[in-house]
Amino acid sequence: MAGYTKGEARDWARERLVGAVNCTIPSFTSDLRGINELGIRHDVRLAKQHGFLGTLGVSEVSIALPEYLEFLEIVKDEAKSDFVVVHHASWSNLEENITAVQRAEAAGAELVLLSYPPNFYPESEQEIYDYTKAVCDATNLAVMIFPMFLWGFSSRIHPSDIPARLIRRMLDDIPNIAVIKAEGGAPSIMGTIEAYRKFGDEVVISCPIEGDLLTLGQLMPIQLSATSDHEFWGPTIPQAMTLLREERFDDVTDLYWQMHPARKAKAAVAAQLHGGFFIDRQAWKFQGWLRGYNGGPLRMPTQRIHDPQMNMLRKGLLDSGFEPSMDPFRDFFVGRNPA
C-alpha cells in the first residue's frame, strides 16, 4: 500500500517524484507460456543502478491481467521501498481498468499512468472527464494524466489533445491527480509550457521527451521526466536531470549535442516502423537490450524489428560516443536471462 492518503497525493508527488522514470517491459519465458522472473528482476536492478527513481510496469503487450499483477509484484519485491513502481492503466475498457488499478494498488504500485482504451471514442470533453474521474475515484493512488495524440482526441476535442479547461476541471474535482505527463499537441512544446504555466504550482509537470527535457529544462524547472523509453540512454537521463537541477546548462547542452546522432537514429527507426501512430514495444525492448537490459521474446501480436533498424539504433549510440552491446542480434530474441 502507498505511504500516503488520497488527499496527500499531490504533496507526495512533489516531494518524491524528483528525477526520471523509465519503462520495464515484461520479460517472458522462452516458450512464451509464462513471465520470466529472472529477466524482470534484472531489468529493475539495472534501472536502479542507472539512477532512475522508478519504473513503469508496461501493460501494452500481450499479457493477461493476473500475469501482469504477478509481474508488478516481482517489480515491487525487487524494487524495495526506495523505488517507485508505476501501474500502467492501459487495459481494454473502463471496467477492466478499474479492476486493474485496484489490484495494482494492492500489489504495491505507488503511482498510476492513466491511458485511454483504443475503443474509447469520446465526442465531448465530458466523456473524457467521466472516464478519468471513474478510474481516479477507484484508487487511492496518485494519478498521472496524459494528454497525448495517441488517444485520437485532437481531431474531435481539441488540438492539444486534452484542453487546459478540461484539465482545470479535473484538478478541481479529482484530488489524486498529482502529475501531468505533458505531451499534448506533440511535437509542439506548447502543451508542456501551458501545463507548467497554468498548473505547475498545483501538480508535478513531467516532461517525458528527452529532447524537450534537455532544452526546456534550461528555461523552467522540470523535476520529473516520466515515463519514457529512457533505458535507451542507459544512465544518461538521470545524470542529465541532476545537471539541470544544478543549473549546469553548458554541460546539459554539450550532452544534448552528444546525444543527437542517437536521437536522430531513434526518430528515424520510429518513423520506419510505425509512422508515429503506435508504440513499438519490440523496438523499445531492443533499445533497452543495447544498454544491458534483458531483452527477450514477446508474444504475438507484437510489432517486429529487423536488422536495418537494429543496426541503425546501435550505430546511433556508437556515433554518440556510447557503448551499446555488440552481442549478436540473435541474442536479443533470447534475452540475457533466459528461463
* Closest by CA position to 20, among listed 179, 221, 278, 224: 224
Q: Which residue segments constitute the domains of the chain, with CATH numbers given?
A: 6-248 (3.20.20.70)
The rounded mean pLDDT for the chain is 97
Q: How confident is the model at residue 271 (pLDDT cuts 50, 70, 90)?
A: confident
Q: What is the mean pLDDT of residues 124-145?
A: 98
- pLDDT for position 17: 98
Query: Per residue in 78-112, pLDDT tens?
Result: 999 999 999 999 999 999 999 999 999 999 999 99
Tell me 22's DSSP state.
E
- pLDDT for position 276: 57
- pLDDT for position 273: 78
Strand partners, 54: 21, 84
- pLDDT for position 300: 97
- pLDDT for position 33: 98
Q: The pTM is what? A: 0.97
Q: How confident is the model at residue 277 (pLDDT cuts 50, 70, 90)?
A: low
Q: Tell whether the model's pLDDT for residue 275 goes beyond 80.
A: no
| Integer CA distances (angstroms), 281 to 14, 198, 241, 255, in order | 30, 33, 25, 26
Tell me 222's DSSP state.
-
- pLDDT for position 156: 94
Cell of 337: 536471462
Query: Per residue in 27-86, pLDDT tens?
Result: 999 999 999 999 999 999 999 999 999 999 999 999 999 999 999 999 999 999 999 999
Q: How confident is the model at residue 272 (pLDDT cuts 50, 70, 90)?
A: confident
- pLDDT for position 1: 74
234 vs 19: CA distance, rounded Å: 14
